[in-house]
Structure 1
Amino acid sequence: MDRLSLIGLFLALASLVGGSILKGAGLASLWSPAAFVIVIVGTLAAILLQTAPAVFKRALHIVRWVVRPPHSDRRELIALIVEWSNIARRQGLLGLEPQVEAQRDPFLRKGLQLLVDGVEPESIRHMLEIELSSQEHQDLAATRFYEGMGIYAPTLGIIGAVLGLIAVMKNLADPSKLGHGIAAAFTATIYGIASANLLFLPIANKLKGIIAHSSRDREMAIEGLISIAQGENPRNIETNLSGFLH
């Protein structure tokens, strides 16, 4: 569980609610069904127009990483790779076969299977790097779903404000409705700018950081697997992979 993300989400909500209360606007001023429809529903409509179904599905799948990122422990991974190298050194590469099915990570499982199958080191590197690049490309495309929402939301907030002001202009003959109408018009702007800068763009950037970290983990795994394939000493493998810890 990522506590910083949870704290950030709480503070984002608190800043809006607390700011509205401290400014004297009250909580009621933050609620506007019309602004919600124009900004949030409109933003979702715009992003769906530009998003492929597979990317949309992936975006919904990885958003949970914001509060529950994938497990990552590089020291643990180094220890695991060194253990594999010791097994390969004692029993040969075929001795790693029982380890293949024990791996939950599909990337590591594929790498181990290539080792067991006796594939040449450079071929292993080539295939795993393609796998890494493909997965990274897919995940980054999913982050652009939230990045796009962060771009569209403020503009739709302005559209909502303009529509609200148009409604106000129709009631110029009744001054008692002007103040409430203008306040409601600007609520759409708050929805647009706040959702973009407190939710959508931070989510996109958080996911990009997680993806970059995961890709680095896999790069380390590739180097370890190649070292095993080349028959390097387990101590040397551990020393080389320790550079990824910095």
Structure 2
Amino acid sequence: MDRLTFLGIIIAIAAIFGGQLLEGGSIDALLDWAAFVIVVGGSAGAVMVQSHSQTFFNAMKISVWAFVPPTQPVEQGITRVAAWSNLARREGLLGLEKNIDDSLEPFILKGLNMLVDGNDSDAIRKAMYVELDVLDKELLKAAKVFESMGGYSPTLGIVGAVLGLIHVMGNLSNPELLGAGIATAFVATIYGVGFANLFFIPVYHKLRAVIEEQSQYREMIIEGIACIAEGENPRVIEGKLSGYLAR
């Protein structure tokens, strides 16, 4: 669980509501379901129009990473690579093949299978970096869905404000309702700007950071498997990969 994400959202909401109270307003004035539906629903609909269905569903799937990011076991990965290297030197590639754990993620399994099939380090690097590039691009496209929502959200807030003002204009015969009606109309603008800058865009950047961490971990695995293919000493490999711990 990423406590910083939860803390950031709480502080942001508290700042908005606290500022409203300090200005002498009420919190109830900022709560408007119509504005929420227009901003969030409209932003989601707009991004559905521009996105491929698979990209949109991937975005919804990885959105949880902003709150519960997957951990990258870098230290454990280095230990695993060193163990694979020791096994390959001791029993050869055939021995390594017999001890491959099928529960490993498909990306790592592909690299190990290429290794036991006798591919050289250059072939392994080329093939796996191509796959890594494709994976990164797909995940970044999904993350950009939230960046796009952050772009549409303020405009939808203005749309909500205009719709509210249209409703106000219909009540010109009741002057006592005008003030409250105008205030409610502008709540949509607050929602639009607020969701963009306090949620959608920050979530995009958090997801991007998580994707970059995953990419570095996979890059480390590629280099480790390539070093095994080159026949390097397990201790040398472990020393090379330890540089990823400092990133």
Q: Which residue of 1 aligns with 2:3?
A: 3
Q: Which residue of 1 aligns with 2:52?
A: 52
- Tell me, what secondary structure is at the counterpart of 1:72? coil
Cα distance in 1 for partners of 2:21, 2:97 equals 63
Deviation of 1:82 (Å):
0.8
1:136 partner amino acid: D
Q: CA RMSD in A?
A: 1.5
Deviation of 1:27 (Å):
2.1
Q: Which residue of 1 aligns with 2:149?
A: 149
Q: Which residue of 2 aligns with 1:166?
A: 166
Q: Which residue of 2 aligns with 1:234?
A: 234
Cα distance in 2 for partners of 1:197, 1:241 equals 38
Deviation of 1:63 (Å):
0.8
Deviation of 1:175 (Å):
2.0
Matched, 1:18 2:18: yes
Cα distance in 1 for partners of 2:235, 2:110 equals 24
Query: In the TM superposition, what are the counterparts of 1:35-114 in structure 2 within 5 Å?
Result: 35-114=35-114
Cα distance in 2 for partners of 1:105, 1:21 equals 51
Deviation of 1:198 (Å):
0.8
1:39 partner amino acid: V
Q: 1:54 to 1:99 in 2, by over 3 A?
A: farther
Cα distance in 2 for partners of 1:132, 1:153 equals 32
Higher mean Cα deviation, 28-37 or 74-83?
28-37
Deviations, residues 98-155 of structure 1 (Å, cap 9, x unaligned): 4423443221111111111212221111111111011101000001110100000001
- Tell me, what secondary structure is at the counterpart of 2:171? coil
List gaps (5 residues or longer) in structure 1.
none
Q: Which residue of 2 aligns with 1:188?
A: 188
Higher mean Cα deviation, 61-70 or 13-22?
13-22
Deviation of 1:73 (Å):
2.6
Q: TM-score, normalised by structure 2?
A: 0.94
Q: Which residue of 2 aligns with 1:136?
A: 136
Cα distance in 2 for partners of 1:100, 1:10 equals 45
Higher mean Cα deviation, 10-19 or 55-64?
10-19
- Tell me, what secondary structure is at the counterpart of 2:101? helix
1:141 partner amino acid: K
Cα distance in 1 for partners of 2:55, 2:149 equals 14
Cα distance in 1 for partners of 2:98, 2:182 equals 69
Cα distance in 1 for partners of 2:14, 2:102 equals 45
Deviation of 1:166 (Å):
2.7
1:4 partner amino acid: L
2:48 partner amino acid: L
Matched, 1:178 2:175: no
Deviations, residues 38-74 of structure 1 (Å, cap 9, x unaligned): 2111111111101111101111111111111112132
Cα distance in 2 for partners of 1:165, 1:38 equals 14
List gaps (5 residues or longer) in structure 2.
none
Query: In the TM superposition, what are the counterparts of 1:26-41 in structure 2 within 5 Å?
Result: 26-41=26-41
Higher mean Cα deviation, 63-72 or 4-13?
4-13
Deviations, residues 192-229 of structure 1 (Å, cap 9, x unaligned): 01111111000000000111111111111111100001
Cα distance in 2 for partners of 1:177, 1:40 equals 27
Higher mean Cα deviation, 194-203 or 37-46?
37-46
1:158 partner amino acid: I
Q: Which residue of 1 aligns with 2:127?
A: 127
